[in-house]
Structure 1
Amino acid sequence: MIERWNRDQVLALAPDASSQKAAQGVSSPGKWSGVGVTADALWGECRGSGSKPYRACVDLSEPAYRCSCPSRKFPCKHALGLLLLWSADGVPVADEPADWVTEWLDQRRDRAVRAAVRPARTAAEAERGPAIDTSRAAQREQRVAAGLAELERWLADQIRQGIAGSRRHDHWDDLAKRLIDAQAPGVAGGVSRLNAVLAAEDWPARLLGEYSLLHLLCVAHRRLPEVVRAAGDGPDARAGAGTPHPPGAALLRRVRERIGFPVTKEEVLAGETVRDVWDVLGRRDEEQDRLVARRVWLRGRNTGRPALVLSFAPVGQALDASLVTGTALDADLAFYPGSSPLRALVAVRHDGAAAAPAPGSTPQEALEEVAGALAGDPWVDSWPVVLDSVVPVENGSWSLCDASGGLALHPSAGTPWRLIATSGGHPLTVAAEWTPSGLRPLTTWDEKGRVIVL
C-alpha cells in the first residue's frame, strides 16, 4: 500500500488557489459514495448538481487522474477532494478496484506497453545518430555567431554610455527580437527577462551582473572551439548525449544549451542513467513567455545528487503532477549533458521507496555545493539545498541559521509564517531553492516527520 499523503501534499497538486478551495468544499465524506483504495488506485463517486454523480479515480503510482466532470483543470476539484478524503483516512481499503476503475487502469497499462515496444532505431541508425541537414545546421551556426557578436557590441555600448537609459521597460525588446531572428532563443529569453531586474531596489548592480553573464556567454561561444582543441577533446565535441564527454565538450554542450541549441529527449534517454531513491523536495511554477514552467526539485538519498525535472504548458492548461512533494521515488534518472548536470528526465520508475525527510547539510556545506555548481556552470540561477538543524531568524531580513551561520531568504518569501510556526524556535530540516537573491523555502518536516509544503 502506498503511504497515505497528507493534506499539504494533496493541495500542492492543485493547478491554482481556486482549485484548492473548491477541492476542500467537496472533500467531506457526505459528498462521496462507493469510495475505495488499493495499493495503486483510489476511486469514488461525488454527488454534483446533475442526476448522476461524478466518477473520479487516481492512479497512485504516477499519480494520474480521471474524472467524468467537464472541468478543464487537471487535476480537477473532485480528484483533489477525493485525495483529501483519503489523506484524512476517510477511504476504506478494498480488495480490488471497481470495474470502471479497473478498465481505466488496464487502458493505461496497455498504452504503456505499446509505448515500450515501439520499434527502436537499429544499431546502425543509433551509431550514425539522427540525420542532420548540414547546410541548414551551418546556416544556423552562422546566424547564431552573428547574433552573439551583435550582442557583444551592444553590451559594450551599454557600458560605455551608462545604464541610466535602461529604466525604459521596452529597452531590450528590439534586441530580443533580433536574437530570435538569429536563432538564439535561449539568449533572447534571458534578454527579455531583464525587465524583472528593474523592480529591485539595487537594480543597477543586478543589471550589471546580468550583463556580465550575457557577455560571458557570448565570449564562451566565440572561444570554446579553441578551448576544446587545446584540451585535446577531439574533433567531435558535439557528440550525442549517449557518448562520453570530456570536460571541454561538456562545457561546450552547456554553452550551446544556454544559447538555445536543443537537446532532444531521445538523446538524453539514450545516455547513462542514475538509479537512486529520489526525495521530491518541492516545486515552483512561474510564467515565462505565455508558458507556465514547473520546476520540481529532487535529491538522491544515496548519491546526494540534486536533480531538476522541468515541464511546460500554456497558461491555464495542466502541468505534469506525477512527482508529489514530500514523497520518495525509486527511479532511474537520465541527466541532460553539461558541466554541472542538473536537469533530468525520469527514465524508469521502480516499486518501493517510503517517504522520509531527506538528509540535510549545514549552510556552509550548502554554499560550498552551490559554489561547485557555479564553477562548472556560471549561468546557474537556482539549485536545490537541504539544510539540517536550522532556525528561521530575523535580523533586518529573514534567514535560516545554525550555530555556524545562515543563509538569507529571498525577498519574495516575506515573513515565513508557516516555517516559524513549524519551528517554534526549535531546529528543523528545510528544503529550499537557492537563488542569487536568497533561498526560496520549499518544504519542511515537523517533529513527527510529516512533510509541510511551504
Structure 2
Amino acid sequence: MGDDGAGKAAGGAADPVAARRRAERRAQRIAAGATELEQRLSDLLRDGLATADRAGYGAWDETAARMVDAQAPGLEARVRELGAIPSSGPGWPARLLEECALAHLLNQGFLHLDSLPEELAATTRSRVGVTVPVAELLAHGQPVRDQWLVLGREDSSDGKLTTRRIWLRGRSTGRMAMLLSFGAAGRAPEQALPLGLVLDADLTYYPGTHPLRAALGTRYPPAVPPLPPGWTPAAAVDGANGAAAADVPAPAGVPNGVPDGGGIDAALAAYGEALSDDPWLEGWPVVLSGVTPVPGDDGWQLADEAAGTALPIDPRCLGRTNLWQLAAISGGRPVTVFGECGHRGITPLTTWDPEPVPLGTGTGPTSYGGTR
C-alpha cells in the first residue's frame, strides 16, 4: 500500500520513475523466487520423484509461501500443483515430471527474459504473474471491435478469491477472447455477461505470443442479442448516460442461434498451434459441431460419427462439468459443444438446446489442485 502512495506525484498523477523502480524491485524478487524454485526442483530430481510422495504437501506449501513473498503468483500456482500431483492417482510420477519440466522452463524463461523475443517475453511475464495494468492496456493497446458472442462462462474459487472467466468469439474476426475478473470471498466478480449475449465492443488483447486474454473497452449500443421484429428492451440503453446495457440477456424464447463449429481435427490443430506459442497453456477454447457425448469404461468422450473421430473428455473436469445434463440434451444425437481443448482432452462448458445451456457446476479448481 505504501508503494502505491509513493508512486503518485503531485496532483495524483502516477510517477513513472517510482513505478519503474517498483517494477525493477519486483522483478528482482521474482528472479530470486525462480532461482529458489530451480534449486527445489533440482533437489527433487536428484533425490528421486518417490521422495515427493513421502514428503507430503508440507514442503511444497512452504515453497509456495516463498513464491508469494517473491510476488510471483504464477510460480506459486505451479508449486501448489506440484504438491498436489503425488496424491492425484495412478500415473502421478509422469505428471509430476511433466510439471517439473514446465516449471523449470518458466523459471529459465524469466531468468533470461532479455534474450527472448518481445512477445515470448510478454507471455513469460504473464505466466509468472506480471500483467499489464488494465488502464495502461486500454490506453496504449490496439482495440479490436467486433460483434462478440459470449460462448462460455466459469467461476472457480480457492476459498479466498473467486475467479471468473468469460469466453467470447468475434463474429467478423473469428477470434477467441477470454475476459478474466475476480471477486473477494463471498462476493461475485463484477463482470457479468450472460451466455448468448452479442456484444458490440472493443476488446484489447494482453500482449503475448498467442493472445487470448483481453480487456473490455468501449461498448456500443445495442449490446443485446438479436431481437425479433417489434421487440425493444427498455433497458437496452441507459437513458442517463447513453451507455449500452451490455449485460441484458435475451428475452425468453428468443433464439440466439447455435454458433458455427468445427471438427475435432480442427480443434486439435488450433490447440496445437496455440501450444507451440505458449508451452504453459492448459487449454484453448473451441466450438465443436456434430459431436455426441458417449460414456464408456475409459471415461467420457465426444464422438464425431460422421468423421470417425472422437475426443476424450478431460477426467479432471468430472467434478465441475455436468456431463449427464449434456447427455440428456443430446439424447444420442449430435450437438454443438463449446469447451477448452487441452492435452488430456476437452472440458465441455456450454451446449445449445437451441439456446445456450451452461454445463459447468461453478465449483472447484481447474487442474490437479491449483487454478489457472
TM-score under structure 2 length normalisation:
0.76
How do 1:120-135 residues align onto structure 2 when only pairs under 5 Å count? 130-135=16-21
**Structure 1: how far apart are the matches of 2:51 and 2:159?**
24
Q: Specify every segment of 5 or more residues in structure 1 that has no aligned partner in the other structure, as ranges.
A: 1-125, 228-247
Contact 1:301 1:359 in 2 (8 A): no
Counterpart residue type for residue 191 of structure 1: V
C-alpha displacement of 1:277: 1.6
Q: 1:136 to 1:268 in 2, by over 3 A?
A: closer
Q: Which residue of 1 aligns with 2:348?
A: 441
- Cα deviation per residue 1:1-28 (whole Å; 9 max; x = unaligned)? xxxxxxxxxxxxxxxxxxxxxxxxxxxx
Select the residue among 213, 216, 219 that pairs with 1:343: 213
Contact 1:327 1:356 in 2 (8 A): no
Q: Is residue 357 of structure 1 aligned with residue 258 of structure 2?
A: yes
How do 1:358-373 residues align onto structure 2 when only pairs under 5 Å count? 358-373=259-274
Q: Which residue of 2 aligns with 1:410?
A: 314
TM-score under structure 1 length normalisation:
0.63
**Structure 2: how far apart are the matches of 1:376 and 1:340?**
6
**Structure 2: how far apart are the matches of 1:216 and 1:208?**
12
**Structure 1: how far apart are the matches of 2:126 and 2:355?**
38
Q: Which residue of 1 aligns with 2:89?
A: 200
Contact 1:413 1:441 in 2 (8 A): no
Q: Which residue of 1 aligns with 2:368?
A: none
**Structure 1: how far apart are the matches of 2:294 and 2:188?**
37
The DSSP-based 3-state class of the residue aligned with 1:365 is helix
- Cα deviation per residue 1:376-435 (whole Å; 9 max; x = unaligned)? 111111321100111112343111111241211122337722212222222111111224
Count of matched residue positions in the alignment of Structure 1 and Structure 2: 307
Select the residue among 119, 134, 145 that pairs with 1:250: 119
Q: Which residue of 1 aligns with 2:135?
A: 266
Contact 1:334 1:347 in 2 (8 A): yes
**Structure 1: how far apart are the matches of 2:22 and 2:325?**
54
How do 1:19-418 residues align onto structure 2 when only pairs under 5 Å count? 130-167=16-53, 168-197=56-85, 198-227=87-116, 248-270=117-139, 271-288=141-158, 290-320=160-190, 322-352=192-222, 353-354=225-226, 355-396=256-297, 397-402=299-304, 403-411=307-315, 412-413=317-318, 416-418=323-325
**Structure 2: how far apart are the matches of 1:343 and 1:327?**
18
Contact 1:283 1:296 in 2 (8 A): yes
Q: 1:201 to 1:301 in 2, by over 3 A?
A: farther
Q: 1:139 to 1:224 in 2, by over 3 A?
A: closer
Q: 1:265 to 1:328 in 2, by over 3 A?
A: same
Stretch moving more, 350-359 or 337-346? 350-359
Counterpart residue type for residue 256 of structure 1: R
C-alpha displacement of 1:268: 1.5
Q: Is residue 453 of structure 1 aligned with residue 341 of structure 2?
A: no
Counterpart residue type for residue 309 of structure 1: L
Stretch moving more, 199-208 or 298-307? 199-208
The DSSP-based 3-state class of the residue aligned with 1:312 is strand
C-alpha displacement of 1:158: 0.8
**Structure 2: how far apart are the matches of 1:144 and 1:219?**
12
Contact 2:82 2:100 in 1 (8 A): no
- Cα deviation per residue 1:41-92 (whole Å; 9 max; x = unaligned)? xxxxxxxxxxxxxxxxxxxxxxxxxxxxxxxxxxxxxxxxxxxxxxxxxxxx
Q: 1:175 to 1:387 in 2, by over 3 A?
A: same
C-alpha displacement of 1:136: 4.0
**Structure 1: how far apart are the matches of 2:204 and 2:291?**
32
Counterpart residue type for residue 151 of structure 2: L
Contact 2:151 2:338 in 1 (8 A): yes
The DSSP-based 3-state class of the residue aligned with 1:172 is helix
**Structure 1: how far apart are the matches of 2:28 and 2:333?**
58
**Structure 2: how far apart are the matches of 1:441 and 1:140?**
37
Q: 1:165 to 1:339 in 2, by over 3 A?
A: same
**Structure 2: how far apart are the matches of 1:315 and 1:133?**
29
Q: Is residue 428 of structure 1 aligned with residue 335 of structure 2?
A: yes
**Structure 1: how far apart are the matches of 2:300 and 2:145?**
36
Contact 2:61 2:83 in 1 (8 A): no
The DSSP-based 3-state class of the residue aligned with 1:207 is helix
The DSSP-based 3-state class of the residue aligned with 1:171 is helix
Q: 1:130 to 1:367 in 2, by over 3 A?
A: farther
- Cα deviation per residue 1:197-247 (whole Å; 9 max; x = unaligned)? 3323322222111111100001112233124xxxxxxxxxxxxxxxxxxxx
C-alpha displacement of 1:129: 9.1
Q: Specify every segment of 5 or more residues in structure 2 that has no aligned partner in the other structure, as ranges.
A: 1-12, 227-255, 360-372
**Structure 2: how far apart are the matches of 1:194 and 1:138?**
28
- Cα deviation per residue 1:236-264 (whole Å; 9 max; x = unaligned)? xxxxxxxxxxxx11111111121122310
CA RMSD of aligned residues (A): 2.3
Contact 2:159 2:185 in 1 (8 A): no
Contact 1:301 1:358 in 2 (8 A): no
Q: Which residue of 2 aligns with 1:64?
A: none
Identify the structure with bigger relative contact order (alpha carbons < 8 Å, sequence gap 6+).
2
